[in-house]
Amino acid sequence: MKDQKSHWNYRICSYTHERDNQRYLAIREIHYKDDIPVAVSTAELDNVNEFESLDDITWTIDAMKSAMNKPILDLDNFPEELKN
């Protein structure tokens, strides 16, 4: 069996919320295997305020800012939209 390369990053995602049927944007963690998205965090980043150092805060902010340069993922169709 081939060893799969896995990683994650932050992405901006759009989704339709059940409470009001409106579209929203959120920053979520997306997990990949062999560069194919396979999982998405199920909640907005509730634990973003838990850091051990200023360097950790800087790294997280930079990682989130890099999501601005990637296409917005549609969670209503995740991951089918990326299989093409």
Confidence check: pLDDT of 4 > 70? no
pTM: 0.76
Alpha-carbon Rg for the chain, nearest whole angstrom, is 14
Residue range 11-20: mean pLDDT, rounded: 93
Domain residue extents for the chain: 6-82
pLDDT single digits (tens) 20-71 = 999 999 999 899 998 888 888 876 655 566 889 999 999 989 999 999 999 9
